[in-house]
Structure 1
Amino acid sequence: MINFIKECRKEPEDLPASSFMLASRRRREVAMPRHRERFVIAVALFCAIYVVIGGRMAVWGAFPSDGGGYRYVPSQIMAARPDLLDRNGKVLATDIKTASLYAEPRRIVDADEAAELLLSVLPDLDPKTLHDRLSSKAGFAWLRRELTPRQQQEILKLGIPGIGFRTEKKRFYPGGPTAAHVVGLVNIDNQGIAGMEKYVDDAGYSALQSAGLAVDTDLKPVNLSLDLRVQHIVRDELAAAMQRYRSIAAGGVVLNVRTGEVLALASLPDYDPNNPVDALKKENLNRMSAGTFEMGSTFKTFTTAMALDSGLVKMTDSFDATKPIYIGGFRITDFHGKHRPLTVPEVFIYSSNIGSAKEAETVGIEGHKAFLTKMGLLTRMHTELPEVATPGQPKEWKLINSITISYGHGVMTTPLQTAVAAAALMNGGYLIPPTFLPRTEEQAAALAKQVVSKKTSDEMRYLFRLNVADDRGSGNLANIPGYKVGGKTGTANKVVGGKYSNTKKFNAFLSAFPIDNPQYVVLVVIDEPQPEPGKYYATAGMNAAPTVGAIIRRAAPLLKVKPDFGDSGKSLLVSY
């Protein structure tokens, strides 16, 4: 053993050649596995590092971060919305492509220079916010959404590294403000926030968008019940009325009495949904469905219908309107009192507060409240439009409440509900929920609820026509030859500082045509009108009634309502 150890301690040169080669081979055989293992580990680590880097780059490419927890999903900004069309296929809302500006701050070489260059094209950007975004450590940051083509071209010419564009979908409304309150609008992310745009989202589109199923998809257009031609006429005549009568606001609706379809609804002042900066201003409220008002003497329509339908009052009955009514410290009188007994038709055409109050007394407080509830005037209306207000009524109905409500004071409801209730009095007695979508008469019949008898409906049509055709009627300025218009005026004093004002009024004219076989209800409201130059009064008969007449004159031919001029008119047409 000692000799073996000595042999092993010998220097290589002391060993025989054969012994040295054998020892070297053994050392290489021991070392080779260790070198191979280290090499494999190094390669594996190298590959793992690049896999991690590649993975992170892929994640950043798909979900760039702005440093504030933002996660960008490409499908959302390219999500398509279905077109909104009127009943004749005219485009009310559609998508167009637009470019939006973004930055990748990590690639910005000089944030100060980049900010200065961008401000030369987009001077309305906040300089501090822009610089903060460009100098941040984020991977992605929006700078401006929805650029114009000219702005995009000018920014491209600047050639700033780390600045880019993404194509988005932008909503475009060809008609501008024409149907703004019905069509509604979307936000910067193309999501519906008002009107029928919001209805489409709530009806299931937003779920498709969230699921990424609304990208580059040919979505079926949504047809509305609106007739764009009639919508334009209504808005145009309302704008003219506001100017002529120097009012602060106006509104109007055209409703199909057989289907409940809304063919036109406008409220002025309004806004342009292409530039919705004014959409939330208080004065731009949709007064027709989202505002509640005391509707004044138009409510006498429902008081008279209630009295007749109860069976307690007949058309031939009379009510003593000789003297004012005194109740609860209040004096109730007529605007143009006749100071004599009035028949039911006279109560209607002379718009007698005293006569209407006695009609309500005949029916009773509970019957009065039940009738207005049945007509849908005291509860929130259900329709597709999201902007719908809830009517207001007394917590406890007393005799004084019933009397004032009989002529339109003490209850607040929406003008659209008033038109819907009136349609039930014109179509044979059937209350049909309003809709902003196309509906057939068969579909409407399945939803209709009979609220008054056909006899009552016939009698109310007679009174409507009498109030317009008779020179004594308050609505005679709405009389359009050939179309047999009928209706009821309403002039309500507005409440100012807790008291009824003698100067500020909310006027309305509730009408239907052709009255012998009604097809449409037209309601116009005018807020705080002033007398025309040379005239003393600013009552509804002087402003709301002629505005309705102007709308019917222009819209009736488009609605295919044939004029009827009687025998003399037929002879005139034959001569041509």
Structure 2
Amino acid sequence: MIRTPLRPLAAVLRAREKGENPAAIEAANKARRHAAMADKQRQRAEGRLLVLGLAFFVAFGVIGMRMGALASSVPEEPRAVVAGNPIIGQRSDIIDRNGRILATNLQTHSLYAHPQDMIDPARAARELAAIFPELDAAELHEDFTGDRRFLWIRRQISPEQMQEVHDIGSPGLLFGPREMRLYPNGPIAAHILGGASYGREGVSSAEVIGVAGVERQFDGFLRDPANEGAPLQLSLDLTVQAVTEQVLAGGMSIMNAKGASSVLMDIHTGEIVAMASLPDFDPNNRPRVLTSGDQSDSPLFNRAVQGVYELGSVFKIFTVAQAMELGLVNPDTMIDTQGPLTWGRFRIRDFHDYGPRLSATDVIVESSNIGTARIAMQIGAERQQDFLRNLGFLEPTQIEMIEAPTGRPLAPRNWSEISTMTISYGHGLSSSPLHLAAGYASLLNGGTQVRPTLLRQSEPQQGPRVISAAVSARSRDMLRQVVTRGTASFAEVPGYAVGGKTGTADKPRAAGGGYYDDKVIATFASVFPAHNPRYVLIVTLDEPTETSGTEPRRTAGWTAVPVAAEMIRRVAPLLGLRPQVDSAQQVGVTLTSN
């Protein structure tokens, strides 16, 4: 910084020449310098005041705008901000193959209390007990007058109930926003959907979590915000599912059965189009799990997936198909059916005396235990076990349900020759109806393995081959003949070529071993259309009894088959299958004269 001296030498010399006082020069320069400094300080102060004024103007403007916005907005209760993971309340929808809603969300409210804010706890308790009959007024009053400062009253309430509680007028009764899971179709597909409940809860939100079925299996997907609300699409057809359950419930009632199940599966994609288990429940009001007794008696028990049973003669087609694949028999090979067949202390008999010999086809058509057992003896235990393993009968199904691992088949520890013989006609190996559906699909779709799935598929499965296409076609022909001239004659549905096999298995006693004489599991495993298979249908009735005749009848031909036939008659048009109707005989017209 360059400073100007107060007494410049040149100015001093000029002043001395003129006889002036040099000190006056210094005084004048000081005065000018002080004046310049004062002007500079004044300008700086004026600038600061201007900036401060502008800041106050902007601040008051922002405050005024905010006050205006608050004055024009809807008032809200203040919410406390807490640290930690937020509760994710939003849950994706579940839809069927056509986009129809199976499970969705509904905005509702919860009800809680701050007893310290109540003016008249006794009145509030009485009014709440009148609105919610399950609540006890005396217990509520005790809670309201105790030391508790927070009390849940109802996790969710309807809008009508909310209004009634609001009319009580107690400041200690408060509402919190809540999202609940809604199943608009009630009990339809209840066992597949499973149900949901609340996990972590707060007064302003709650975590909806799956507790069973696909809700539990896909809980992570349904709650993941990264999916941006994308729905979970299942392979189910809601209309077909509803009809299936309706027909099955009617058949269960008519046949006086304890329970029933059915599986309708696409034979090529493995998609489960409909699956039902009765008795069922409403997932909107899911019942409690049984704490004692047999869990299979609970409506929560999924008979189609979790129930493992000896399914009887429906297994015979597997034995004959494997024998044909191995070149041991062909459809016309004559099999010794002379009985009884003795193995040690065991005696294998047929339901009727079919004579000394039957063709391999007639072993299936007439359902000969002896003939099937003799074929199985040719196959052997090891090869039979490998074949059933390839069809999926020795492991739980891989269907996308949390309950699937509990449906583990029960196979003999020692797979002896007698086990080979009894398993060939469906005794000694317990599996679920879903196992049976997958096995029939793999056998009859051309011979490639199919795994059941509840997710919508766009292409057929390309599984490993289990039998040749030729053997698959022969097996379909045999099953068709069971309907046209065998034990499943009631399965004939005009316009749809149905093929299938009946199975009637005595139920094992829960204690003491042995089998009941008057309790059976009746099953009909069917495929349609038989000449160009599209779907497999399994219908199973637990302890059915048909009473239209003079004596009760329990065999599948009288119980499960009529139910399956009515089901096919109802669902086949819904699946887009056109009936094949023979053209009417051409009528001749003769011209005559009067």
**TM-score over 0.5 for the pair:** yes
Q: CA RMSD in A?
A: 2.3
2:254 and 2:550 map into 1 onto residues whose CA distance is 12
1:289-321 deviations in whole A, cap 9, x for unaligned?
111111111111211112111222222211111
Contact 2:339 2:350 (C-alpha < 8 Å) held by counterparts:
no
- 1:502 maps to which of 477, 496, 517: 517
Matched length: 492
Residue number in structure 1 paired with 2:543: 528
Residue number in structure 1 paired with 2:474: 459
1:483 is the counterpart of 2:496 = yes
1:479-505 deviations in whole A, cap 9, x for unaligned?
111110000000000012411112101
Q: Which AA in structure 1 matches 2:447?
A: G
2:562 and 2:84 map into 1 onto residues whose CA distance is 55
Q: Which AA in structure 2 matches 1:240?
A: G
Aligned pairs for 1:236-385 within 5 A:
236-277=246-287, 282-284=297-299, 285-385=301-401
Aligned pairs for 1:129-278 within 5 A:
130-131=140-141, 133-135=143-145, 140-189=150-199, 190-202=208-220, 204-206=221-223, 208=224, 213=225, 219-277=229-287
Q: Give the greater-gyration-radius structure (CA).
A: 2
Unpaired runs of 5+ residues, structure 2, are 1-76, 200-207, 588-594
Q: Which moved more, 1:140-149 or 1:355-364?
A: 140-149
- 1:61 maps to which of 80, 89, 101: 80
1:107-140 deviations in whole A, cap 9, x for unaligned?
2345444333322322312456534643455554
Contact 1:103 1:143 (C-alpha < 8 Å) held by counterparts:
yes
- 2:447 maps to which of 429, 432, 437: 429
2:367 and 2:419 map into 1 onto residues whose CA distance is 19
How many Å apart are 1:535 and its aligned residue? Answer: 5.1
How many Å apart are 1:222 and its aligned residue? Answer: 1.5
Contact 2:93 2:222 (C-alpha < 8 Å) held by counterparts:
no
Residue number in structure 2 paired with 1:50: none
Q: Which AA in structure 2 matches 1:481?
A: P
How many Å apart are 1:248 and its aligned residue? Answer: 0.5
Residue number in structure 2 paired with 1:561: 577
How many Å apart are 1:105 and its aligned residue? Answer: 3.3
Contact 2:482 2:499 (C-alpha < 8 Å) held by counterparts:
yes
- 1:512 maps to which of 527, 536, 559: 527
Identity rate of aligned residues, in percent? 39
Query: Partner of 1:277: helix, strand, or coil?
Result: coil
Normalised by the size of structure 1, how large is the TM-score?
0.81
1:326/1:552 Cα in 2 relative to 1: closer, same or farther (>3 Å)? same
Query: Partner of 2:188: helix, strand, or coil?
Result: helix
Contact 1:490 1:508 (C-alpha < 8 Å) held by counterparts:
yes
1:99/1:303 Cα in 2 relative to 1: closer, same or farther (>3 Å)? same
2:433 and 2:393 map into 1 onto residues whose CA distance is 10
Q: Which AA in structure 2 matches 1:491?
A: T
Q: Which AA in structure 1 matches 2:265?
A: L
Contact 1:271 1:279 (C-alpha < 8 Å) held by counterparts:
no
1:50-106 deviations in whole A, cap 9, x for unaligned?
xxxxxxxx999346xxxxxxx998744xx1211111111111111111121011234
Residue number in structure 2 paired with 1:16: none
Q: Which AA in structure 2 matches 1:123?
A: P
1:338-387 deviations in whole A, cap 9, x for unaligned?
13111101100110000010111000111111111111011111121121
Contact 1:83 1:222 (C-alpha < 8 Å) held by counterparts:
yes
- 1:542 maps to which of 528, 536, 558: 558
1:528/1:91 Cα in 2 relative to 1: closer, same or farther (>3 Å)? same
Q: If each structure's helix is expressed as a fraction of its own residues, which one has the higher value?
A: 1
Normalised by the size of structure 2, how large is the TM-score?
0.79
Residue number in structure 2 paired with 1:552: 568
